[in-house]
Amino acid sequence: MNNTKPFSKFERMIAWRYLRSKRSDGGVSVMTWISLIGIALAVFALIATLAVRSGFRTEFVNTILGANAHASVYTTPRIDDEGFTVNGFADYEVARERIAAVDGVIRVAPIVKGQVMANANGQNTGVQVFGETLADLKTLPLVANPKDAFGSIEDFDNGVAIGSGIARELGLRVGDVITLISPDGVKTAFGTSPRISGFDVVYVFEVGRYDIDSTRIYMPLSEAQIYFNREGVVDEFEVMVADPDSVGDLTIPLIEAVPDRGLIWTWRDANGGFLSALKMEDNVMFILLSILVLVATMNIVSGLIMLVKNKGRDIGILRTMGLSEGSVLRIFFMCGAAIGIAGTVIGVVMGCLFVIYLNPIFNTVNYLAGGGIWDPQKYLLSNLPAELRWQDVAKACSLSLGLTFFITYFPARRAARMNPVEALRYE
């Protein structure tokens, strides 16, 4: 037997018999099942958690990039020759062409922004108005092609487009009139009086983020310039680039493309803290769940130690028959590895199925709990996202199998080094 090839049929047969043996025969079948179930549940939890975390980040970034500028180009206020405070871009078509000429820029939209009070049906809410042209609005992916929409974006020049959250809060539908109240209105001899104007609602959109759907109104650029006293001027440019992750590399070229006092504010500047928190939370969550996997794999050690103790007589007989230490080590290593591999496979299948059917499962749980489990206002997303990535599955498998093979080696090594004389002394 000294010439037995590694992991030969003979070694696999003995390992399989040990795994199937009952406790009355010196086996540890109960411990085997506990180890297998523990590893399967740990891998399942790891894959499900990583998928939900990946889904959160992807959904959050997609809604940012689909309904917001990748970068905003604006200027700081300045005093003109007549002593008045000037803000924004006066000759904005020229500035727009210069920004559009920057390599990597795919969209440039001049806009006017302002915060006002919206009123309808006796209800009030604070909103943010974005004034831009129909052509530019149609290039915003999640506004032109939202998750849900009412009305037609083609009628934008005849009214305003509002988020679904505003429509629900004020009880508005397409065709209704929304009243916007701006404190910075008409300048008179007695001071500035609020500007109150009514606009037809021609388009209602839902992008899937509460902070956008419940606060944002789009108004035709020319109408917004009049409403906010910005005739012939825009406040900033919305810029979209081909590679949003590398928008920081375009900061200097974009600043150089505008006149003096130009500033850049990217989507990473606006959301960098949240993205960093997500990344840190992902790392912490992975470490915590790795400990869970480690605890589950430790059951294999307990089971193998008991198996080695119960099979001491068999080990002594096999060794006296000429079985090498390496063969004994491989036999018990395969016992532990088989449990880890089976548990990992079951956990992967359970985790992948859970992620694939997450929405039906979540809707069922939400229904049984009476609803209200998911609050879009709190989580900023309309549903629970999940993204099954092969990198996450590979990470979970590598962790589980790596820990299994590592900790299985030591009890298997102990069995291989058992002295056959000592093992058979009291037999």
**pTM for this structure?**
0.67
- 379: pLDDT strictly greater than 70: no
Q: How far apart are CA 103 and CA 268, in angstroms?
A: 19
Do residues 130 and 218 make contact, with C-beta atoms less than 8 angstroms apart?
yes
The residue that leads in pLDDT, 416 or 105, is 105
Cα gap 155→218, rounded to integer Å: 12
CA distance 389 to 252: 35
Going by C-alpha positions, the residue among 241, 267, 269 that lies closest to residue 254 is 241
Q: Is pLDDT at 404 greater than 60 in this prediction?
A: yes
Fill in the DSSP letter of residue 175: T
Tens-digit pLDDT profile for residues 54-113? 887 887 777 777 788 888 888 877 665 655 566 778 888 888 888 998 898 999 999 999
Which among 67, 105, 99 has a CA at the least distance from the CA of 244? 105
Q: Looking at the predicted structure, is the pLDDT value of residue 195 above 90?
A: no
The closest of 393, 408, 279 to 338, measured between CA atoms, is 408
Length of the chain: 427
Q: Can you name the residues that pair with 151 across neighbouring β-strands?
A: 203
Helix (H) or strand (E) holding 71: strand 71-75
218 pLDDT above the threshold of 60: yes
Q: What is the DSSP string of 248-268?
A: GGGHHHHHHTS-TTEEEEEHH
- What is the residue whose two structure tokens read 């974009």? 254
- Confidence bin at 382 (pLDDT 50/70/90): low
| Beta carbons within 10 angstroms of residue 360's beta carbon | 9
Can you tell me the mean pLDDT for 314-335?
A: 72
